[in-house]
Amino acid sequence: MTPSPPARLATLTHGPVPAAGGSGGAAVERRAVRAVVLDGEWLLLLQTARGAVKFPGGGVEPGESDEQALRREVREECGLEVTAVLDDLGTIVEVAAARPQDGAATFRMTSRYLRCRVGRDQEAPGLSPDEQALGLRTVRMTVAQALAANAPFAADGSADGNHRFTVRESLALQWLAEAPR
């Protein structure tokens, strides 16, 4: 029996998006994975210096499976090892205008949310320069606390661009808040 594809939790459109087939060519496509690590009521997240929170995770590199990317991203961002991937919770698709240097009209990112477990031994994270600039640090909070932390950013669409992820992550957090456990 073939497993069913993950549920699409939402599709988000950020700003005006050129019509398909416009002058910019095909869409730039990016796949990403996001780790949902629940320990009782506590959720493992990354928090920016300004207070917004996001799930650990990021882009899937060429030749890398989603599970390999998840393990790499959690190790890099949190210093923790993924010990088990448990469930595929679903995807959120984001569509936006591509940057001029991308040679495309639109940018489309599909974020796949995977529930997983992590080990207890933590090493120093290996954050990228962009992640360091955001001041990312590993935190644990409840889903309600995370929604409250993102509310000021998600409400205004994260106009500064650096916190646009809060709209996506708040949708995933809301889904977690409403999902049966």
Say what the pLDDT of residue 2 is: 42
Mean pLDDT of all residues in 105-112: 85
State the CATH number of the domain containing residue 79. Answer: 3.90.79.10
Query: What pTM was computed for the model?
Result: 0.85
77 contacts 54 by C-beta, under 8 angstroms: no
Give the range of the structural domain holding residue 154, as residue numbers without chain letter: 31-92+112-178
Q: Taking the alpha carbons of 60, 5, 165, 77 in that order, is the dihedral positive or negative?
A: negative
Domain assignment of residue 2, yes or no: no
Say what the pLDDT of residue 18 is: 66
**Band of the pLDDT at 63, cuts 50, 70, 90?**
very high
Q: Which residues of 15-81 form beta strands (DSSP E)?
A: 28-36, 38-39, 42-47, 53-54, 57-59
Domain assignment of residue 36, yes or no: yes
Among the residue ranges 133-142, 150-159, 163-172, the one predicted with the least confidence is 150-159
Buried b / exposed e over 12-24, threshold 16 CB at 10 Å, is eebeebeeeeeeb
Split into its structural domains, the chain has a count of: 1
